[in-house]
Amino acid sequence: MTTILSIYAGPHDGNLCILQDGELLINLEKERFTRKKEDGGFTQDFLQKAFEETNITIDDIDVVIIDPKTFPREMYTDMLQSLEGIPYYDTGKLFAKPYHQGSGIFLGKKFPVWAIHHHLAHAAGAFFTSPFSDATVITGDGGGWGSNHSVYVARGGFFKSGYHKWGACLGYWWDKIPLYYGVKQPGTLMAMSAYGENDSILKNELLAQLIRYSNSSFPQYSINYGVEKKDGKPVRMLDPKKKGDANLAFALQSLTDDVFTGWFAQAMRTGSKNICFGGGLALNCISNSRAMINSGAENIHVPPNPNDAGLALGAALAYHYYILNNKYEPSYFSPYNGIKYNDADIDEAINYAKSISKNIKVRKVDNDDISTLLAEGNIIARFFGRSESGPRALGHRSYISRPDIPKLRMIMNGIKKREWYRPFAPIVLADEAEVLFEQVVNNSYYMNTSTVVKKEWRERLAGVLHADNTTRPQFIDSNGCEDLFELLVKTYEKTGIPAILNTSFNIKEPLVETPLDAIKTFINSSDYVKYLQIEELCLEK
C-alpha cells in the first residue's frame, strides 16, 4: 500500500490531498477554512484536518509531493536542495523536466519527496479523473513552471508522450483585464460577453497584442476603447449596458473560442476525438463547448477543479499513474471529497442558530419533503455530505430552487449580492438533457460546459437562462450522486421540469464548508431563503 500526501502551497488556491493506492481519501482547499477567497499558502493546522478526517498520521505517509517554488521553507529541512541537487533558485533546471525526486524531512520524518511539473499536474488531474482510456490532454493557464500550455497523448490508460511550452498568454489576460477594470473575477467578464457583439477592430487589436507577447513575457494590456481614465486607471467598472464594455468582453471571449478551437483541432491529429482539458482556462465553459463543436471533437472532460485548486490532486495522480506506471481504469470521478461532518458538529451549529434567533424551527426531512418545498416555489439552502472540490457548487453546498419562479434571476442575484447580469445554472437529470438543450455535451457532470436551451423550454427555465439563451448545466444520474439524483427525480415528478436552479451557497466568500458556516450564511441570507437543509434536518426561519 502506498499513501501519498500531496500539497500545493502557491500564492493562491492552496490545497492538499491524500491518495492511497489510487483512491482519493480526501481533497481540501484552504479557502474553505480560512474563509478567504482563493487563499494560498499552507499551515500545519490545514494538514491536521485531513489527518483527522482520514485517521491517518504522518507515520502512515510513504511519499510527499510538493511544489518547490511555493512550499514554505520553515516546514522542511533540506527538502528543495535534495531534489536531484537542484538549488531552489535554479528555475531553469527545475522547469526543464516533468518531475524531480529527492528526500527531505517533513514534520520530523524523512520521506521520499517529489516535485511534479505544474502542467503535468494539470494534465494528470484532467485525464486520470476522466471516463476515457484514450484521449489527448490539453492544459492552458496564466503560467506555471515556465509554461502556460501543454499537450499529452494518453493511450490505454497511460500517458505516452507530452510537451510543455510558453505561448500566447491568454490565461494572464483573463486574470488581469477583469482586475484592471474592477470586475475582479474572470467569470464576471465571461457573463458580460453575452451582452456584446462582434467588433472586429477590437478583436484584432487583442489578437495582435497576444501574438506580440507570446514568446517573451506577459502581455501589457493597452487598449483604449473609450473608458475615461485618471492616473492611467479607469474611473469606473465595466458595464454591460455600455456597448463598448460589452464588446470588449465579447472580443476576449470570441478570441478564446478561436484559441481553444485551434488547440482542440490540433489535438485530434493524434487520432483520438476525446479531449481532456485542465488548467485555469478550462473553467471557461463557453469556449469549452464551442471549441468542441467547431473542432469536431466528440467528447470532452473537464474535472471539477481544473484550476490551481486541483494541483495537489493532479500531482498525486501523476505520481501514482505516470511515475509508478500504473494503468488507469476509467470511471466516474466524484467531486465530493471534503470532510464529512458528524451529528455533534451539526448539533453545535443548530444550538448556535437557536441562540441567535428564537424563531428557528427544526424538523426531520427526506427528499420527498425537500422536493415539495421546491415545488411550492421556495428557495432552499442545501448542506449535504462532503463538500465539492473546485470553484463551482455541485449540489452539496448550494442554494437550490425550481427554475421558473418569476424574476428568479433578480432575486438570486440579490441574495448573493452580485451584479444584475450574472447568470445561474441548473442541475439536470442526464437522461432528460436532450429534451431541454439543442446541443448536449457529454460528460457535463461538473458545470464546465455550456449549451443552448431549446426555444420551447426557455420560459420554464428562465431562472437559469442567460441573455444569449445559453446555460451551464450539471448533469446528474444515480452514479455516485444517489441522494441528489433522487431529489431531482422527486422534484421532476411534482413540477414537470427535470432541472433545478443551483448556485453556490455563499455570500461574498468561499463556499460554506462547515455546518456552522452554513448556519451563519443562512441567517444572513435574505428573507427569500426560508429553509436550510442540513443532512436530514431542515431549519425554517
User: Which tens digits make up the pLDDT trace of 13-27?
Assistant: 999 999 999 999 999
- The model's pLDDT over 74-133, given as tens digits with 9 standing for 90+, comes to 665 555 555 555 554 455 555 666 777 787 778 888 889 898 999 999 999 999 999 999
| Domain end position, chosen among 89, 116, 143 | 116
More confident residue, 153 or 76: 153
Is 233 strand, coil or helix?
strand
Residue 357 included in any domain: yes
- The model's pLDDT over 440-450, given as tens digits with 9 standing for 90+, comes to 998 899 999 99
pLDDT band at 231 (very low <50, low <70, confident <90, very high): low
**What is the predicted pLDDT for the residue at 226?**
47
Residue 504: CATH number of its domain: 3.90.870.20
Q: Which residue has the cell 527538502?
A: 79
What does each C-alpha distance from 345 to 305, 356, 523 come to in angstroms? 27, 17, 17
Residue 221 included in any domain: no
**What is the predicted pLDDT for the residue at 84?**
54
* pLDDT of residue 467 exceeding 90: yes
Residue 209 included in any domain: no
Nearest CA to 170 among 253, 288, 264?
253
**What is the predicted pLDDT for the residue at 180?**
73
Number of domains in the chain: 2
| Domain end position, chosen among 116, 138, 172 | 116
- The C-alpha cell at 108 is 520530523
Residue 169 included in any domain: no
SS (H, E, C) 336-367: ECCCCCCHHHHHHHHHHHHHHCCCCEEEECCH
Residue 35: CATH number of its domain: 3.30.420
Which phi-psi region, left, alpha or beta, contains residue 244 (left: φ > 0; alpha: ψ -120 to 50)? alpha
Residue 386 included in any domain: yes
- The model's pLDDT over 268-308, given as tens digits with 9 standing for 90+, comes to 899 999 999 999 999 999 999 999 999 999 999 999 999 99
Residue 66 included in any domain: yes
**What is the predicted pLDDT for the residue at 237?**
78
Dihedral pair phi/psi, residue 159, rounded to 5°: -75, 130
- Cβ count near 69 (within 10 Å): 18
Range of the domain at 64: 3-116
* pLDDT of residue 229 exceeding 60: no
Please list the helix, strand and coil fractions of the chain in percent, rounded to the nearest 5, in that order: 35, 25, 40
Distance CA 221, CA 248 (A): 12
* pLDDT of residue 484 exceeding 50: yes
Residue 92 included in any domain: yes
Residue 98 included in any domain: yes
pLDDT band at 375 (very low <50, low <70, confident <90, very high): very high
Dihedral pair phi/psi, residue 276, rounded to 5°: -110, 135
